Structure 1
Amino acid sequence: MLDRVESDHIEMAGRSTRPASLLDAMRERTRTLHVTAERTGIVAELLRGRGTRRAYALLLRNLLPVYEALESELLRHEGTRAVGLIVRPELHRSAAIRADLAQLDVAGLPVLPEAIAYVSAIQEAGAGAGHPLLAHAYTRYLGDLSGGQIIKKILARSLDLRPESLSFYEFPDIADLQRFKNDYRNALEQAGAAMVEHGAVVEEAALAFMLNIALSEALQAAAGFGA
């Protein structure tokens, strides 16, 4: 979710008010939500270095079904003209999350209703042609590749976590994260060009951010942080 920080600034001068591409449209629609996501909930606590081992494990436990749903739906559309362009197994996070949870070994972690709602939204996004899945991949994976790397460093320092507990933020099958991010953005652009209408995907991107914010705030409360 904390993505696009260094190379995604858009020069609007000379452009029409209508975004020229799917990626531009999603950026514009989610700009304010992106800022909110960084400044609220458990994400804000982690960025401030106020996380705890249990809070991190709780975050992972609730993200696991989200990624399982996203990866399942993406693979189901692997052969399609638009969504198939952004199916990249090297991005999949489910196995890494399970490995981290095993290392952290924190018992009694609940799956919150907000995570279940998030899963349901992803499954609905995968119905039919599955084009709204582009928005969920954009929100989660570009965030993991960018802002997630910042969170990883903070967690390693503030919680004294070893790399074996931070697999979620590691991408061993990607040699150059910046080049991969650029390639993935290009794939999203190509997927957008293969579609007739962008509106539903753009609104799904806003929904994805709102679902992330709701989950982050619920996790903040469940982990015992004051709002």
Structure 2
Amino acid sequence: MLDRVDSDQIEMAGRSTRPASLLQAMRERTKALHMTAERTGIVAELLRGRGTRGAYALLLRNLLPVYEALEAELLRHRDTPVTGRIVRPELHRVAAIKADLAQLGASDRPLLPETIAYVSAIRDAGAGSGHALLAHAYTRYLGDLSGGQIIKRILARSLNLEREALSFYEFPAIADIPRFKDEYRDALEQAGAAMAEHDIVVEEAATAFQLNITLSQALQAAAGLGT
């Protein structure tokens, strides 16, 4: 799930042959994929309140290596002038996911091939300048801060999950999530202004969304949901 698209900004960008910013370009490129991500796979099942504890645990188990790869690659580039602008340890999810899996007693859930492909793509994005990591951070973290907060409330209600099992959606180091999201968007814009290869990052955002969709659909099937 991703940061919501500002329809007015998209309309304005559509009148120009060149997107106004990196953030705007990623939003426009991934608009249709964003809608697909919300309406299919395990994410759609969770949003409809049709998840199970087992399905949630399977989701977390398969997101863990994704975040391990993303956060390791981001930290590797933390001192660089572009990618370093969006490295925010308060967003890191690895410890939170591990805590949830321990709470659920579900650390032994299987990893799917789609997860391995996702991890490989993130490592490829971290190669060289690492600028393509901006797309993966945009896709995952702004989604966690936006739609993830909705999923948290639904999971707490539909699965009767205690807060200790929902650490993935908790950001104790962020006092004001809306303000932080604005600051993170600004950081993405600043990073975009400091580099030339916008097209590569924009296309990587589409790739990141498609990886999420593919994994979500595979997790839905593996969990036996929607059948």
For 1:109, the equivalent position in structure 2 comes to 109
Tell me how far apart the structure 1 counterparts of residues 22 and 55 of structure 2 sit (CA, whole Å).
35
Question: Residue 8 of structure 1: CA displacement?
Answer: 7.0
1:10 and 2:36 equivalent?
no
1:64-79 to 2 correspondence within 5 Å? 64-79=64-79
Letter in 1 for 2:24: D
Q: Does structure 1 retain, via aligned residues, the 8 Å contact 2:99–2:167?
A: yes
Letter in 2 for 1:140: R
1:207-226 to 2 correspondence within 5 Å? 207-226=207-226
Tell me how far apart the structure 2 counterparts of residues 58 and 8 of structure 1 sit (CA, whole Å).
34
Question: Residue 13 of structure 1: CA displacement?
Answer: 3.6
Tell me how far apart the structure 2 counterparts of residues 170 and 8 of structure 1 sit (CA, whole Å).
28
For 1:135, the equivalent position in structure 2 comes to 135
Question: Residue 127 of structure 1: CA displacement?
Answer: 0.3
Over residues 135-159 of structure 1, what are the superposed CA-to-partner deviations in whole Å (9 max), with x where a residue is unaligned?
0000000000000000000000000
Structure-1-length-normalised TM-score: 0.96
Structure-2-length-normalised TM-score: 0.96
For 1:42, the equivalent position in structure 2 comes to 42
Q: Does structure 2 retain, via aligned residues, the 8 Å contact 1:66–1:119?
A: yes
Letter in 1 for 2:83: V
Tell me how far apart the structure 1 counterparts of residues 8 and 96 of structure 2 sit (CA, whole Å).
31
Tell me how far apart the structure 2 counterparts of residues 160 and 171 of structure 1 sit (CA, whole Å).
20
Tell me how far apart the structure 2 counterparts of residues 139 and 86 of structure 1 sit (CA, whole Å).
13
Tell me how far apart the structure 2 counterparts of residues 108 and 65 of structure 1 sit (CA, whole Å).
13
Change (3 A) 1:13 1:24: closer
Q: Give secondary structure in 1 for the equivalent of 2:4.
A: coil
For 1:28, the equivalent position in structure 2 comes to 28
1:58 and 2:58 equivalent?
yes
Q: Give secondary structure in 1 for the equivalent of 2:156.
A: helix
For 1:181, the equivalent position in structure 2 comes to 181
Letter in 2 for 1:110: P
Tell me how far apart the structure 1 counterparts of residues 82 and 108 of structure 2 sit (CA, whole Å).
40
Please tell me the root mean square deviation across aligned C-alpha atoms, in Å. Answer: 1.4
Tell me how far apart the structure 2 counterparts of residues 153 and 226 of structure 1 sit (CA, whole Å).
21
Q: Give secondary structure in 1 for the equivalent of 2:189.
A: helix
Give the number of equivalent residue pairs: 226
- Please state which structure has a larger fraction of its residues in helix: 2
Q: Does structure 2 retain, via aligned residues, the 8 Å contact 1:135–1:208?
A: yes
Q: Does structure 1 retain, via aligned residues, the 8 Å contact 2:58–2:219?
A: yes
Over residues 97-121 of structure 1, what are the superposed CA-to-partner deviations in whole Å (9 max), with x where a residue is unaligned?
0000000013641000000000000
Letter in 2 for 1:77: H
Question: Residue 25 of structure 1: CA displacement?
Answer: 0.4
Q: Which moved more, 1:118-127 or 1:104-113?
A: 104-113
Segments of 4+ moved more than 6 angstroms: none
